[in-house]
Structure 1
Amino acid sequence: MPHVRPFRFGIITDGAPNREEWITRAREAEDLGYSILLQPDHYTNEFFPLASLMAAADATKTLRIGTLVYNNDLRHPVLLAKEVAALDMLSGGRFELGIGAGWNRPEYDQVGVPFERAGLRIERLEEALQILKQSFSDETVNFTGKHYIVTDLNVTPKPIQRPHPPIVMGGGGKKFLSLAAREANVIGLHIKVNDNGTVDATENIEDTLTEKVGWIREAAGERFSSIELNILISGFALAQSQQEAAEQYIRERKLTDATVEQVLANPYVMLGTTEQMVERIQRWRERLGVSYLVIRAQYMRAFAPVVAQLAGK
């Protein structure tokens, strides 16, 4: 019988107006049963991850911290390895390294970083992962690739979690998910974003998740059973009527071409009662192996009853 991984839940947030509110948010997440507080990595964020995640770790006892996700194109992998190892060491081994190839073209344009084709960005990330893993090890880093060269470098400090903090990668395309299957400990099942920022509406159905899990299973081989699968919930409403909640969701987002049925089928949107959500999440684990869900911080309290029923089970 296949191993059933316990459920865990995280919140993602890009900052807070002040220190007191940030600390309160982290402590409340811990008290409500969330296992991890996550931050994205964009220039438009209120906070960048390094300082704010360390503050959250200092203010809590067991809450894990992580990025969802660092943009590989914004930092040299050696510098990132030093930041990550320090965060892991100073937090007592509570850090999870989410990293991606970058996807938000306007952000690249704002700071003058070339936004190259997806294949090249993924190729660069693949090299960066090798440097990161070498940096976390006890060996001297020597690497020569197409995009990076590192020579005779002893990278310190070292992380507490060995061989390295959990590596989290999320994506929607086969090439990226296949890389994640070979390199990551946690894989997020996301929609595929095109280079022009558009998303194919056919991505927003559960059948695409089945296909993506298949790609991961094929590329991971024997290590598939050790991989934790994740979904990021971007839309949420606690409601007695799923129909009414879906109609409101369409109105608020001005989705003129969307139907109620399409919204309710979207795996990245969670609408309905606590019981309906619990049933859906349990079905995802049974059907897809998904056991780790992340929800946006503004929904943290409303989603807490779901966490209370499922976390750790």
Structure 2
Amino acid sequence: MPRKPVKTALYAPPIGRDVNAWREQLRRLDDSGLTAVSVSDHFLVGRQDPIAALAAIATSTRRLRVMALVLCNDYRHPVITHHAAATIDVLSGGRLDLGLGAGYLAAEYAAAGLPYDEPGQRVDRLAESVEVIKALFTDQPVHHEARPTR
């Protein structure tokens, strides 16, 4: 039985004041044999916007998979998420892995002034967004009518 290669990922190093040093860290990770570098979507812990960070990682590396692990669905409209993901995928030469989640940190919702709905509602919104985002990655026109909330 053929052996599958081991896949490894790390969170991207935090962006500091010395952006050139940060890019050099990414280049070393790119050369290390690591499989992927990921960025999460938490604004109370961490100081980098995940979309901007993923774009910068995409242009600073040549081989590593670039992972959104994960973007919170409720922080962005699905059309905006698609637009950003499509741009990062082009910048990375097709290396983006887009992870989406329903959101779970009540404190971040409160800090952003967003309602923290029940888990089922958040999951329903996520499922609807995934449908829209996947459809936008096709060549077909997308017509979508939002589902009523619970």
Q: TM-score, normalised by structure 2?
A: 0.89
Rounded Cα–Cα distance in structure 2 between residues aligned with 1:76 and 1:101: 13
> Which protein has the larger Cα radius of gyration, Structure 1 or Structure 2?
1
- State, as a whole percentage, how many aligned pairs show the same letter: 33
The answer for the alignment partner of 2:109 in structure 1 is 108
What secondary structure sits across from 1:142 in the alignment?
coil
Show structure 2 runs of 5+ residues with no match: none
Offset, 1:125: 0.3
The answer for the alignment partner of 1:16 in structure 2 is 15
Rounded Cα–Cα distance in structure 2 between residues aligned with 1:112 and 1:79: 19
The answer for the alignment partner of 1:94 in structure 2 is 95
What secondary structure sits across from 2:83 in the alignment?
helix
Rounded Cα–Cα distance in structure 2 between residues aligned with 1:123 and 1:67: 20
Deviating 4+ runs (over 6 angstroms): none
* Contact map agreement 2:58 2:88 (CA 8 A) in 1: no
Rounded Cα–Cα distance in structure 2 between residues aligned with 1:4 and 1:121: 39
* Contact map agreement 1:34 1:63 (CA 8 A) in 2: yes
- Residues 28, 72 of structure 1: CA spacing in aligned structure 2 closer, same or farther, 3 A cutoff? same
Offset, 1:4: 6.1
- Residues 129, 147 of structure 1: CA spacing in aligned structure 2 closer, same or farther, 3 A cutoff? farther
The answer for the alignment partner of 1:25 in structure 2 is 25
- AA aligned to 1:6 is P
Offset, 1:14: 6.2
- AA aligned to 2:28 is E
How do 1:125-136 and structure 2 match up within 5 A? 125-136=126-137
- AA aligned to 1:91 is S
- Residues 81, 147 of structure 1: CA spacing in aligned structure 2 closer, same or farther, 3 A cutoff? farther
Rounded Cα–Cα distance in structure 2 between residues aligned with 1:90 and 1:81: 14
- Any idea what the Cα deviations from partners look like across 1:64-95, whole Å, max 9, x if unmatched? 21111000000010111010001101211111
- AA aligned to 1:40 is S
Show structure 1 runs of 5+ residues with no match: 149-313
How do 1:15-54 and structure 2 match up within 5 A? 15-18=14-17, 19-44=19-44, 45-54=46-55
Offset, 1:21: 2.8
- Any idea what the Cα deviations from partners look like across 1:14-63, whole Å, max 9, x if unmatched? 62213123212211211221111100001132111222222222222211
Indicate the structure with greater strand content: 1
* Contact map agreement 2:62 2:92 (CA 8 A) in 1: no
Offset, 1:147: 5.6
Equivalenced residue count is: 147
